[in-house]
Amino acid sequence: MRAKEMRSRSVEDLQRLERDTAEQLFRSRIKNATHQLDKSSEIGNARRELARIKTVLRERQLGLNADASGAAGEEE
């Protein structure tokens, strides 16, 4: 799921999604350690997904507007 799609979700949904993704990442790491994981890319995908979720939650916590983030680096 893209960060843009995540921004349209509620905080409760994002927190639930964060817990689920963290649990999925944990399970993937355990499977990898026991050589039962078929696709090792699942670990990286889960890590990136978790990072996106945490980023959106942090933006909400700070009250940042995601649309203005592109203009923040521009100087006149």
Q: So what's the pLDDT on residue 76?
A: 39
Q: Say how far apart CA 17 and CA 56 lie, in whole Å.
A: 12
What distance lies between CA 29 and its chain's CA centroid?
17
Q: So what's the pLDDT on residue 65?
A: 67
Q: So what's the pLDDT on residue 73?
A: 46
Q: So what's the pLDDT on residue 2?
A: 84
pLDDT averages per 10-residue partition of the chain, 76 residues = 85 94 96 94 95 93 67 44
Q: So what's the pLDDT on residue 71?
A: 45
Give the torsion through C-alpha atoms of 59, 55, 23, 35, to 10 deg.
180
